[in-house]
Amino acid sequence: MAEFQLVSSEPTLKTKIFEVNHDRAEHPSGAVLDRHVVVNSPSAVMCARRPNGDVLLIRQFRLPIRQYLWELPAGRCDSGEDVLETAKRELIEETGYRAERWTKLLEFFPAPGFASELMTAFLAEDLTEGRSEPEPYELIETRWTAWAEALEMVRNGSIRDAKTIATLLYCQTLGPQA
């Protein structure tokens, strides 16, 4: 099948954490895609797990949806940082935990209809507790949750965050299980 070809990409907004471009692509059939695209850095999500299978969840306020969500710790890459470095830094910042063993689970696009972000999920094990270093605006609650309870939170809608659902279900069905 023939592919769309990008014919223009015009910056329309630049912030500290993302840019918005007005992109236009054309298909040999004559079809045209005309979209505003959020361009942001790669990111990481971490499933921090104890030997007994308990998983570390965080609860934080998400302004775009004006709600608190239960999630796995996550964050975006800083300039020049690879995703594993990001995962290690964000786990410490948000929870205070450090992990000795890291396993890459999967990569996925959280919102490919409008954003370029590529997220990498990691399993973080052999944990050591320390002091968290959140950003001043990050008022984060942490909670160790039994594996079965975390899956039940997905089933009953208590966990509604896509990256968390994807990572937990990946671990349960395809990856390292509790």
CA–CA gap between residue 104 and residue 124 (Å, rounded): 9
Q: How far apart are CA 116 and CA 38, in angstroms?
A: 6
Percentage of the chain beyond pLDDT 70 is: 98
Residue 74's nearest CA partner among 84, 83, 55, 87 is 87
Q: Does the pLDDT value for residue 177 go beyond 70? A: no
Confidence bin at 176 (pLDDT 50/70/90): low
pLDDT in tens, 38-76: 999 999 999 999 999 999 999 999 999 999 999 999 999
3-state secondary structure of 152: helix
Question: Distance between the two ends of the chain, CA-based, in angstroms?
Answer: 42
Is 141 among the residues known to form the active site? no
Ordered domains of the chain (ranges, CATH)? 5-39 (no CATH), 42-173 (3.90.79.10)
- Quote the percentage of the chain above a pLDDT of 90: 89
Starting from the edge strand earliest in sequence, which strands make up the sheet with 119-128, in order?
74-76, 43-48, 119-128, 98-108
Catalytic residue among 19, 26, 138, 149: 138
